[in-house]
Amino acid sequence: MVSNLLTFVNSNVEWSKSIKIQIKEPFSDYFICTLKMTKTGHLICLGGPTDSQSIGPQSYVIEFGDNRLMIDCGLAMGQKGKTYSPDLGPIMNRSLNGVLTTHGHLDHVGYIPALTKENPLLKDGSRIYGTIITNEITKMMLVDALKNDTPYFGFMDVIRTLNRFEAISPLNQFEPVPGFKVTAIPVGHVPGAVSFLIELPSGKKGLILGDASFVDQLIVKGALPISDWKDEWIPDELWGIDLTNTEETEQLSFNESIESLVGAVRADLSEGRNVFIMAFANGKAQNAALALSQAGIECWLDGMTQEVYKIFRDNKTNDNDIEFPEIGDSSRIRFVNDVGRSNLLSRSGPKVIITTGGMGDRGPIVQYMQAFLPEESASFYATSWLAHGSIASKLLKIVQKYPAEGENRNKRQIRITDERNGESTNVPIRAKVQKIGLTGHCRFSELKDFISRLCARRGRIVDNIVLTHGSIHSMRKAVVDLRPFTQNIIFGLPGTTVDI
Residue 325 clears pLDDT 50, i.e. is over it:
yes
pLDDT at res. 78: 65
| Stretch (H or E) spanning 479 | helix 472-481
Per the CB < 8 A criterion, the answer to whether 57 and 111 are in contact is yes
Residue 53 clears pLDDT 90, i.e. is over it:
no
Give the residue with greater pLDDT, 314 vs 11. 314
Residue 46: Cβ within 10 Å count: 27
Bridging pattern class, strands 76-77 and 83-84: antiparallel
pLDDT at res. 37: 42
> Taking all residues of the chain, what is their mean pLDDT, rounded to a whole number?
88
Give the residue with greater pLDDT, 289 vs 474. 289
User: pLDDT tens, 140-187?
Assistant: 999 999 988 888 999 999 999 999 999 999 999 999 998 999 999 999
What's the average model confidence in pLDDT over 344-361? Answer: 94
What's the average model confidence in pLDDT over 435-460? Answer: 95
pLDDT band at 291; cut points 50, 70, 90: very high
Of the candidates 132, 162, 127, the one whose C-alpha atom is nearest the C-alpha of residue 145 is 162
Per the CB < 8 A criterion, the answer to whether 393 and 451 are in contact is no
- CA 466 – CA 370 distance, rounded (Å): 44
Percentage, residues of the chain above pLDDT 70: 90
Residue 455 clears pLDDT 60, i.e. is over it:
yes
pLDDT band at 118; cut points 50, 70, 90: low
What's the average model confidence in pLDDT over 443-468? Answer: 95
Residue 82: Cβ within 10 Å count: 14
Distances (CA, A) of 82 to 1, 6, 76, 333: 60, 52, 8, 34
Residue 22 clears pLDDT 70, i.e. is over it:
no
Count how many residues are written for the chain.
500
* Among 63-72, 368-377, 405-414, the least confident range: 405-414
Residue 330 clears pLDDT 70, i.e. is over it:
yes
User: pLDDT tens, 219-269?
Assistant: 999 999 999 999 999 999 999 999 988 765 447 889 999 999 999 999 999
Global pTM reads 0.89
pLDDT at res. 3: 38
> Terminus-to-terminus CA distance in the chain, angstroms?
31
179 three-class SS: coil
What's the average model confidence in pLDDT over 315-327? Answer: 91
Of the candidates 56, 53, 85, 86, the one whose C-alpha atom is nearest the C-alpha of residue 388 is 53
pLDDT at res. 250: 44
Residue 210: Cβ within 10 Å count: 29
Distances (CA, A) of 148 to 107, 341, 387, 393, 445: 17, 21, 19, 21, 39
- CA 64 – CA 43 distance, rounded (Å): 9
Beta strands in 171-224 (DSSP E): 173-177, 180-186, 194-199, 205-208
pLDDT at res. 80: 58
User: pLDDT tens, 84-109?
Assistant: 899 999 998 889 999 999 999 999 99
Give the residue with greater pLDDT, 11 vs 306. 306
pLDDT band at 18; cut points 50, 70, 90: very low
pLDDT at res. 245: 81
Beta pairing partners, 321: 220
pLDDT band at 16; cut points 50, 70, 90: very low
pLDDT at res. 45: 95
What's the average model confidence in pLDDT over 454-467? Answer: 96
pLDDT band at 294; cut points 50, 70, 90: very high
* Among 9-13, 329-333, 465-469, the least confident range: 9-13
- CA 439 – CA 448 distance, rounded (Å): 18
Residue 30 clears pLDDT 80, i.e. is over it:
no
Backbone angles phi, psi at 102, to 5 degrees: -75, -40
| Stretch (H or E) spanning 268 | helix 254-270
- CA 195 – CA 241 distance, rounded (Å): 10
